[in-house]
Structure 1
Amino acid sequence: MGGDIVPIFYLQAETAEASGIPCGETRKQFRVFMGSTAMKSGSPRVKREQALTNKLIAEGVLVDDVRPDLYRFAQDYEFTSASAAGGVIKDGNCSGREAWKSEQGETLKTFLAAYSGENVDIEALETAQTETKSSVSVHGNMTTNLILYGPPGTGKTYQTALEAVSLCIGEAQARELASQGRAELMNEYKQLVAAGQIEFVTFHQSFSYEEFVEGLRPSTESNQIGEDTASAGFSLEPHDGAFKRISERARLDKGDENGDGRLSRRSRIYKIHLPTGAEGQKRLQFMLDDNVIFTDVGGDIDWSDDAYDMDRDTPFNG
């Protein structure tokens, strides 16, 4: 099995997340990728790898992460064993062959048993490393937060588009588009933006919570009781930020699998009138709470037109 690609293995310990691969001729060594994080304060017990942790800090392999409770690997580092790597990452003792798991949930111990006696494909290992080392992988149980950093002109914007498209249509399909050229990928990216599946936000010093989640904005439109704007001044109206907008779309859109009998934003829209009476209000509340219907003002449509009588008068028979 010399040509088989060795999978990437992952380890989570509280807020620390790391990825790496078994390496060396005997596969007993373990290489942790740059960008992985390690706990500063883990188990209170005596730790076998404390001296090694101190050595890595002194050598600049482990540096302070932006999160105060973590170290970050500033470069790849090859440990003598997976247990030693896990001990540093957890800041405690670790059974590495059980703790490190592949994206499919296979333990390192199971993988090594299956490949016992085989030579590791070093070229495949390097390929896997190159594809992953720029950041901790977002697959499996790893966080989907991803930070791309570098000087201007190094491809951060393009990589951001690739990651966003991958989350929407799947990594394999996104990589296939990218292999066809930048134009193909960016065209898909623009279509997803137009469909409301991707929001691109530029954070800057004045960017606020209100712009990202929800806030109040001044409005000079006439209020409901007809006060003149000149005398009434302005009012504050709630305004959805980018994060809330896309979250609301995701909540309302159940995707292509609509087997639970509920309405989908992709399906034909059926209009119902608002019921009256105690029983009608009870049914309306049930439908709203259970996401069977959603409300819409209808834009500038004149619902008094006779053409809409059938829609308005068709009873709900759920």
Structure 2
Amino acid sequence: MKHAQSRTEVDEEMRAHGLKTEGLSKKYRNFQLSDISLEVPAGSILGLLGRNGAGKTTAIKLISGHTKKSGGKIWIAQKDMDKEPIAAREQIGLILDEPMFFETKSLWENGKAFGRFYSGFQEASFRNWLSVCKLNRSDWLGMLSKGDRMKFQFAFAVSHHPRVLLLDEPTGNLDPVFRKEFLNILQEVVEEEQIGVLFSSHLTSDLEQIADVVALLEQGELLYAESMEKLKSRYCLLKGDPQTGKKLKISAEPGIIGIQVSRVGFEAMADLENVSENLQNMMETIMQEEIDLSKWMYYMTKRARK
């Protein structure tokens, strides 16, 4: 006979799961987010990439419950967003680039007011995180810069100990020094609290530094979602002289995702899982380099737009 799970066992099971979506979609008059299926286990960071207007912010608002979805399913720490919306949303920490708090209240007053909606909110933790983020709790929210607003939202979010963090372009308005500090702090929080993080950004260098998994949106469609390790091993850059580049371009090899040829040379991105024998032979005399996220995103989205 199967024994009933203890509260501790249930809590451990919940903590083993972060965010999961299946077939998430949203229809607008001039835009549609289609069939977005993602999974962010506890203790990991998913970097969500995409050009402006690709659907990153829409996806985050759907997952957080700020926008009503047209279809699909969302689970937060195994809580079904449709069946347990309040319990699920309580497990979400959110950073959005739009007003969510009282502009004419102090940071401390805002924290106490909104902290009442989260059973895990702790004033001592909030006070500590404000200090870590170098914020004065007596300052009015409306007087803060965009960067300091992000810091405040982060301090509040981690103070109620969520299971999932949804971060929409959190580092875009930070100075370079604190941006690096923030990424280090985020990694520590993820490891210590075992939080699942969905991190949307156009700054590929940030995601390259911290993301375990990379997902790419283009025109509302999910083009790719795999581990950073798999991405780095699957794709590479090819470089060489212009004559070789012209031959490669004419051959129209399916393993070439994109190619640029100039008077001085060529650059191409290759998918090593789709290399033909002909391309394999050509690659023996072509310089190969590790791909970076910026180039990878450029070639992937350019191909999708054709």
**What is the TM-score normalised by the length of structure 2?**
0.25
Higher strand share: 2
Higher helix share: 2
Give the number of the structure with larger relative contact order, counting CA–CA contacts within 8 Å between residues 6 or more apart.
2
Rg comparison, structure with higher value = 1
